[in-house]
Structures are given as C-alpha cells and as structure tokens.
Amino acid sequence: MFKQMNEDINAVLARDPAAKNRLEVVLCYPGLHAIWLHRMAHALYKRNWVVLPRVINTFSRFLTGIDIHPGATIGPGLFIDHGMGLVIGETCEIGSNVTLYQGVTLGGTGKEKGKRHPTIGNNVVVACGSKVLGSFKVGDNSKIGSGSVVLHEVPANSVVVGIPGRVVTHNGIKVEPCAGGIDLNHDVLPDPVADYETALNNHMKIIDDRLKGLEKMIIAKQKIIDEQLKKQAERKE
C-alpha cells in the first residue's frame, strides 16, 4: 500500500510543475485524495461489498468534486490535475501513467449491461472537458484534445480533437520525448476546423480574383464595342 502511495505522489511531482514538495502534494491535491479513497472503495467492491464502497465514493465526491465509481480499475501512475467535475464510470479501465484534467468524463452511452465504459491505454492524456463515451479502447500514447467528444476507438499514438472526436494525427509528426515518456502538451494540437477555414478562404480568394479578372475583361470589351458604335454613328452623320 505504501509503495503504491509513494508512486502516486511521484506521479504528481513528475507531471505538475506547481508541486513543490511531497508534504504539499499529500495535503493539498484533491486528485490524489480521490485516487487513494477510490483504492479503498475498489478493494471492498472486489470483495462484493456494495453499500460501503458507494459511501466512500460519495464522501470522496463531496470532498474532492471527483466522482470515481468503486468498480473502475485504475492502474499505477494516474495523475488527476484540477479534477473538479471529473467522472469515471463503473467498468472503466485505466492503464499506467495516465493524465486526466478537469471536467473529463469517462462514461457510457446507454443502459447496456456489462462493459460499457472506455478502456484507457498507457501514457494517455485526456485534456480539460473531454468526454470519452462507450466501450472501446483509447490506444497507448494518445492525446484527447480539450472539449472533444470521443465515441469510437482510438488507435495508439494518435491525437483526437473535435465533436465528434476525429483522429487528426496517427504516428505523425515526431514530438520530442518528455520526462516519463508522457507528452503533456495537450494545448499543442492540430486544428482541422481552422485548416478547413483557411483552405476555404484561399479558395474564395481564387474565385474572387477570377471574377475581378472577368469583370475587367467585360469592361474592356464593352469599351471597344462602345468606341466602334460611336465611330459608326459618326460615319453616318
């Protein structure tokens, strides 16, 4: 137990530059408190206890603002940063060295029984406000951009953005490895909407230039026709 708690503290120190020392992490990080309370509730849940694990879960949610169902399976090295409003469902499985930010939901999409929540691979970063909904896997070393709604499986080494979530990078541009092999730069993401708007703007500029060219050509031809008509009129006179 103490080894696991030590690993949890180390995960915070490694990934949060605001963390100054171990005492501060132990006393002042609600994400860490939520994880420790969940481990207690999960141990009881696996022994087929029902009410007490949910009571611990309810107390943890009241204390931290983070709702982790006692049935969720959490691997080592989970870091919850500013986790207010974060929700993790009953059949969710989280791998090693995962980072979750404020407002993330790892939930289901209906009333189906059995496995209905996502499986999060190792070294995954899920940014603020993202929703991962359904029974599928988010592959290792992937990033989910802020505010994304992911409804389908995500291959390993991918970047997902948008509503619904779209894989915009898969084994793409090389990113310099960071400490612990986890890329926390969840603000550095491709923007397919902006790319489309840029392409549309460039296309409209091409069309506008062509219309201006046609307008100049028509005006020039009209001037020639006017001059010819004027000369014909002068000859008749």
Residue range of the domain that includes 205: 191-237
8-state DSSP, 143: E
At 17, give phi and psi (nearest 5°).
-65, -15
How high is the pLDDT of residue 166? 81
The alpha carbon torsion through 131, 133, 137, 142 (nearest 10 deg) reads -10
> Do 212 and 118 share a structural domain?
no
Contact criterion met (CB below 8 Å) for 45 and 63? no
pTM more than 0.85: no
The pLDDT tens digits for 194-226 are 677 888 888 888 898 889 888 888 988 888 888
Q: Which amino acid is at 38?
A: H
> Do 170 and 81 share a structural domain?
yes
> Do 167 and 79 share a structural domain?
yes
Low-confidence ranges of the chain (pLDDT < 70): 172-194, 237
Single residue among 188, 209, 229 that ends a domain in this structure: 188
Split into its structural domains, the chain has a count of 2
Contact criterion met (CB below 8 Å) for 178 and 186? no
> Do 220 and 124 share a structural domain?
no
- Exposed / middle / buried, residue 132 (Cβ in 10 Å: 0-12, 13-18, 19+): buried
Contact criterion met (CB below 8 Å) for 191 and 161? yes
